[in-house]
Chain A
Amino acid sequence: MYELSDDQVEYILNNIEKRGVTTEDVRDNILDHVCCIIENEFTVGKDFYKAYEDTIARFYTKELSEIERETENLLTFKYYYAMKRTLKITGLISVILIVLGAIFKVMHWPGAGVMYVSGFAIFCLLFIPLNIVLQYRDDKKKTDKLVMILGLLLVIAGTFGLLFKVMHWPGASFLFFGSLGLFGLVFIPLYFFTRYRNPDTRFNAIIHSTFMMVAASILFALIDLRPTYPVKQSVESLNEYQEANILRIKASNTLLSSELDNAKDLKEASAKIDGRITDIRTNLISKSNAQHNTNKRSSSLKDTRNPDDVRVIVEYFQVSKDEFSYSALENEIDQYNTIIGQLKDSISLRAIDISNLQMKNTVISVVLLELIDIQLQIAMNENSYLSVLRGLQEH
């Protein structure tokens, strides 16, 4: 019986490694097996290297690393079905969560954010990576694999962009338009040309590329629904007109009331609600600007960093109960309406009604414009009341 020395065992181990077997377990198995064969099947005196070469040749047809590849294949094949099953389940769960999240979001029910974020997370972090792995196994050609992986990575980035956009998180536009641009301008042409060359995939290449191009263009057109620049400008100048009008009416009111002393109640009530509304505006703008890392305090729409901010309205203004919230505004208006109701002058005074105004679930610029409108209405009430009083006095 052959005895192997430590050096010879070492030599075999190194040789196995050199032949491309990298997994420790596989290496150990081959090593022991080779040693057993040499020890049991060769007679003492035979050249060790010759014996080793003869033995190792029994392990493969072309090269030794076949064993390792075969092992990997068997192992991944086992996961293949588990992965396909996971793919189906995660696909279904993310679709349900995203659809429910969308419905909840539109209805402004609580929980929309949680569903959206978890749905998108499952979609991006499980469903698409699994797709990448399976695609990698299924695609035969290396370029096809790389192109598909690029596409799926762009889908992940784009989906995150969409999620950021919906959740009003920063960086959304960069992520979304960046990946959408790359998808349309790099991935789709690559996909088309790599698959068009192959007659087997030519027809699918045309159909899929067309679908993807149309979908990408529609997404691109749909997502950017912000007002165009001229609209934004006219909204701002409208706001400035209103502010100027309020100032002029207030100046006229000061003149009128200096001649009349029996309008004290209305004057006080007007000043109180006017001050409160200005405070609400300032508070909304500074809260919204704080989300965008700006600390500017102002009551003017043009100083709002993001006039399309919905978050400050949905998450703060319409739900809070503090002194600058929607409910505080309603209270203030009720008090004001009670006071002008007591004045019993139905010709010049008009109660303020905000029930038909869109002050919830909307962008901050709309709320700011409406608040200014209410202030204008208050100033007008005072002005016409004072004018009527003055007219009566002159008669």
Chain B
Amino acid sequence: MYICHMYSSELIKGTLKTIVLNLLKNNKKMYGYEICQKVKSMTDDKIQITEGALYPTLHALEKQGDVITEKVYIGKRVRKYYTLTDQGKNTMTERVNELSDFMKTMKFLLDLDTSVQNV
């Protein structure tokens, strides 16, 4: 039920928060459907965030204080826009750094890039 299509869900499960936080950094204010569409279009459909994974993550981020929400009423329905807080910006930087470090380590570990081996 998580993110699927090109990549296995286990692989991307741990990065969903990072993806969402990073998107919000670039685009200021977004709502759920918009986030899904954006990821889809940016990755040429390689990463498709499922709704079942996105909303629990957004709620968790809100509870932790990394994002704040703003409700806009559209007729009978309510749309929640998510914005990064200052704390969220720090979390985002930490998460992105951690992930890029992790990717370097994985490259080295899986012997994908010989130039890294000698570092």
Contact = CB atoms under 8 A, between A and B. Distances in A.
Interface of A: 6, 9-10, 13, 25-26, 28-33, 35-37, 40, 58-61, 66-67, 70-71, 73-75, 78
B77 A28 contact: yes
Interface of B: 1, 31-33, 36, 50-53, 55-60, 63-64, 71, 74-80
A78 B71 CA distance: 25
B1 A74 contact: no
A59 B51 contact: yes
Contact of B75 (A6, A25, A28, A67): A6
Contacts of B76: 6, 9-10, 13
Contacts of A31: 77-78
A71 B1 CA distance: 13
Contacts of B52: 59-61, 66-67, 70
B86 to A, nearest CB: 19
Contact of A29 (B1, B60, B75, B80): B80
Closest 5 CB pairs of A and B: A36-B33, A70-B56, A71-B56, A74-B60, A28-B78
B33 A67 contact: no
B80 A71 contact: no
A71 B60 contact: yes
Given A9-B76, A30-B51, A74 B59 contact: yes
Nearest to A10: B76
A49 to B, nearest CB: 18
B75 to A, nearest CB: 6
Contacts of A58: 50-51
A70 B75 CA distance: 29
Interface of A is mostly: helix
A252 to B, nearest CB: 87
A11 B31 CA distance: 22
Contacts of A29: 32, 55, 58, 80
Contact of B1 (A25, A28, A61): A61
Contact of A30 (B36, B55, B75): B55
B92 to A, nearest CB: 17
A66 B63 CA distance: 19
Contacts of B57: 74
Nearest to B55: A29
Given A37-B33, A59-B51, A78-B63, A32 B77 contact: yes
A74 B51 CA distance: 15
Given A28-B78, A60-B1, A78-B60, 20 more contacts: A6-B75, A13-B77, A28-B77, A29-B32, A32-B31, A32-B74, A32-B77, A32-B79, A33-B51, A36-B33, A37-B33, A40-B33, A60-B52, A61-B1, A70-B53, A71-B59, A71-B60, A75-B59, A75-B60, A78-B63
Q: Which of A10, A13, A70, A75 has the most chain B CB atoms closer than 10 A to its own CB?
A: A70
B87 to A, nearest CB: 14
A66 B51 CA distance: 11
A78 B61 CA distance: 10
Nearest to B33: A36
B50 A26 contact: no
